[in-house]
Amino acid sequence: MTYKARDYNNLLGMQGLSETLLKNHFTLYQGYVNNTNKLVDLLNAKAKDATNPEFAELKRRFGFEFNGMRLHEYYFDNLGGKTAVDKSGALARKLAEACGSYEAWEQDFRATGAMRGIGWVVLYQDSVAGRLFNEWINEHEVGHLAGCRPILVMDVFEHAYMTDYGLKRADYIETFFKNINWEAAGKRLG
């Protein structure tokens, strides 16, 4: 099976994110898809030998490329919304339950995204307990909560905002919130 990049051109024209930024971001995502496929092929052709450094490094690299592909899909899929969160909906109720109020959850999510460094902010749902957590992911393969389902994903690598916002990450986060597709995020709840 070969992974195929999804078409996200429907996001062009989204408020606050330029066509140049989005097209560059789509190209970066395509690179993760291509590299995931290359690694699958290379690993399938290699002897399964843990003492072979080449095999070991390909295995380690796979998590970076695959998660880069998948996190971008979650991110693009939860963009393009035009309405605010439905505070009476299931997702907003779960957010309030987890943090005391929707507003407290949003403050935590924004603060997590504003931290120094590169990475991702992911609202996860623990698939065992059902509880929600905002988590920082540094590189694509580091920091994921085992057994948890991504509900809302925000890219905070510089490529996601610098073309339009320079170093003003807070302005990008504001734009992200204006463009969340809450329906898509809500469908991810277990």
Q: Are residues 130 and 173 in the same domain?
A: yes
Q: Are residues 72 and 99 in the same domain?
A: no
DSSP type of residue 15? T
180 three-class SS: strand
Q: Angle at Cα 172 formed by Cα 24 and Cα 64, nearest 5°?
A: 50
Q: Which residues contact 155 (CB under 8 A, 6 or more apart)?
A: 25, 71, 72, 75, 120
Q: Are residues 99 and 152 in the same domain?
A: yes
Q: Are residues 52 and 95 in the same domain?
A: no
Instruction: Tell me how far apart the alpha carbons of residues 65 and 72 are, in angstroms, rounded to a whole number.
Output: 11
Domain range enclosing 25: 18-77
DSSP type of residue 2? -
Per-position pLDDT tens, the chain of length 190: 899 999 999 999 999 999 999 999 999 999 999 999 999 999 999 888 889 999 999 999 999 999 999 999 999 999 999 999 999 999 999 999 999 999 999 999 999 999 999 999 999 999 999 999 999 999 988 889 999 999 999 999 999 999 999 999 999 999 999 999 999 999 999 8
Residue 85 domain-assigned (yes or no):
no
How far is C-alpha 60 from the geometric centre of its chain's CA atoms?
A: 20
Task: Give the residues across from 133 on adjacent strands.
Answer: 124
Q: Are residues 71 and 104 in the same domain?
A: no
Spatial CA neighbour of 3 closest among 27, 26, 31: 31
Structural domain count of the chain = 2
Q: What is the pLDDT of residue 155?
A: 98
Q: How distant, in Å, are the alpha carbons of 25, 126, 156, 190 from that of 29?
A: 6, 26, 14, 26
Q: How distant, in Å, are the alpha carbons of 83, 162, 167 from that of 136?
A: 26, 19, 19
Strands (E) located in 24-171: 120-126, 132-137, 148-155
The CATH number of the domain where 175 resides is what? 3.55.40.20
